[in-house]
Amino acid sequence: MPSHRLHHLAGQVAVPEQTHTGPDPTALERFNAAPARTAERALLTCCRSLRWAHRVAAHRPYPDLGALLAASDEAAYDLTPADLAEALAGESLTALPEDAYSAAHTALSAAHAAYESRFGHVFVICLDDIPPAEALDQVLAGIRSRLTNDPEEELLLTADELRRLARGRLRRLVREPLFPPAPQCAS
C-alpha cells in the first residue's frame, strides 16, 4: 500500500490506521484474570493446601512466571504443620511405569509402607529433573536415606519437596492451556 504525504505534516509519512488484535493471552494472563475460585482450584492441583492456594490466588496478578514462583515459595514456607498435613493427605504414591517388574512394585510398596509407618504421612519427592528411567531408583534411594531422619528433620525435608513439587506443577500450569482461551467468534 503506498504511503501518503499529509499536507499539514510536511516530510512525515502517514501510515494507514491498523487494528492490532495482539496475540492470544498466555496461560499466565488467563490465570491472572480467572475468577478466584477457578484459580484456587487450579492451584490445588499444584499443592493441596487450601491456605497455600488462597494465598497464591489472592496475590494475582503476577507479571511473570518468576513472580508467581516466588509467591508460591513464600506461601509454602509459611505453611503450618496442619497445612502440611493437609497438603500431604492430597498427595498420591509414586506411580511406576506399567512395564515395571512386579518385584519393583513390591519393593516400592514396602518402602512406602515403612516410610508411612515411621512418619505418619506419604513420602514425597520431586523428580522433575530426573530421567524417567531413573525415577524408581531415585524414589527407593530417597525413601531409604530419609528413613534415618528424625521426624522434625524429615518434616522440613518433606515441606521442601512439597515446595519443589508445587513449583514444577506451577510451571506446567502456566505452560499448558489449563485456562483455555475464550472461544473466538467467526466473522
| CA neighbor of 83 nearest in space, from 142, 174, 166 | 166
Q: What is the DSSP letter of 77?
A: H
Rounded Cα gap, residues 96 and 90, in angstroms: 18
Residue written as grid cell 499448558: 176
**Confidence (pLDDT) at 47:** 97
The grid coordinates listed for 20 are: 492490532
**Confidence (pLDDT) at 152:** 95
User: Could you report the per-residue pLDDT of 98-134, keeping only the tens digit for each?
Assistant: 666 778 878 888 999 999 999 999 999 999 999 988 8
**Confidence (pLDDT) at 185:** 43
**Confidence (pLDDT) at 177:** 56
**Confidence (pLDDT) at 99:** 67
**Confidence (pLDDT) at 101:** 74
Q: What is the DSSP letter of 180?
A: P
Lowest mean pLDDT among 1-10, 23-32, 105-114, 134-143: 1-10
User: Could you report the per-residue pLDDT of 134-173, keeping only the tens digit for each?
Assistant: 888 899 999 999 999 999 999 999 999 999 999 999 999 9
44 contacts: CB under 8 Å, gap ≥ 6: 50, 53, 90
Q: What angle do CA 95, 96, 99 make, to 5 degrees?
A: 145
